[in-house]
């Protein structure tokens, strides 16, 4: 089965391939990214993670004629009234500047005692015949005061899941995938692949 993953984020591509490969019940999937096929840029103007994921998956399917997967995910911080939220990838201005985004969250959290946060992911699958599925998942945690770890991407170096002392950037990939918002959402959406 050939699927398009509607992202240019290499970290997401590696993570999704790892998640899909780990499930022996799934069909063999050839995963193409936005760098492998010509995909238009999509303005993520949705008010929710699910809306943005569907915008990207629909656009990829329309452009390629193939079934497409997309996600929109981000960090939701209680003390920041839900920010960065759906703007997580562009929180500091430029899209995909992980270092600047992380730095801005830490600046805004300086001196704040309530460090509760959660990672949220909405995964969307759009078939070439127009059928659509969306699955959402989240993982609760707290924010570290400084980045730790070299794994993962995005806000992983400052996010400590509930029950963990490590940030998700310090966790081995398989351990992170087992509990992560993206791992949970993509395992749920992968269950729909058999319907394609």
Count of other CB atoms within 10 angstroms of residue 190: 21
Pick the catalytic residue: 21, 23, 71, 72?
A: 72
pLDDT computed for residue 162 by the predictor: 98
Q: What is the pLDDT tens value at each position of the chain, 196 positions in all? A: 788 988 888 778 888 888 878 777 666 677 777 778 888 888 889 999 999 999 999 999 999 999 999 999 999 999 999 999 999 999 999 888 999 999 999 999 999 999 999 999 999 999 999 999 999 999 999 999 999 999 988 999 999 999 999 999 999 999 999 999 999 998 899 889 878 8
Of 168, 186, 189, 4, which Cα lies nearest the Cα of 75? Answer: 168
What does 49-81 look like in DSSP terms, one character per residue?
A: HHHHHHHHHHHHHHHHSS-EEEEEEEEEEGGGT
Structure tokens belonging to residue 41: 């840029």
Is 72 one of the catalytic residues?
yes
Q: Which of the 8 DSSP states describes residue 91?
A: T
What global pTM score does this model have? 0.91
């Amino acid at each position: 089965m050939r699927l398009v993953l509607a992202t240019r984020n290499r970290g997401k591509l590696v993570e999704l391939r790892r998640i899909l490969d780990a499930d022996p019940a799934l069909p063999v999937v050839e995963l193409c990214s936005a760098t492998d096929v010509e995909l238009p840029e999509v303005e993520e103007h949705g008010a929710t993670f699910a809306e943005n994921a569907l915008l990207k998956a629909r656009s990829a399917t329309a452009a390629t004629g193939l079934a497409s997967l997309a996600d929109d995910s981000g960090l939701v911080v209680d003390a920041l009234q839900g920010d960065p939220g759906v703007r997580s990838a562009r929180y500091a201005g430029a899209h995909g500047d992980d270092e600047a985004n992380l730095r801005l969250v830490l600046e805004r959290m300086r001196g704040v005692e309530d460090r509760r946060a959660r990672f949220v992911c909405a995964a969307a699958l759009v078939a070439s015949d127009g059928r659509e599925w969306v699955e959402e998942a989240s993982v609760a945690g707290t924010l570290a005061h400084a980045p730790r770890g070299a794994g993962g991407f995005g806000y992983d170096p400052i996010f400590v899941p509930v029950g963990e002392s490590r940030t998700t950037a310090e966790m081995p990939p398989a351990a992170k995938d087992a509990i992560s918002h993206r791992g949970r959402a993509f395992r749920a959406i992968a269950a729909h692949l058999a319907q394609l």
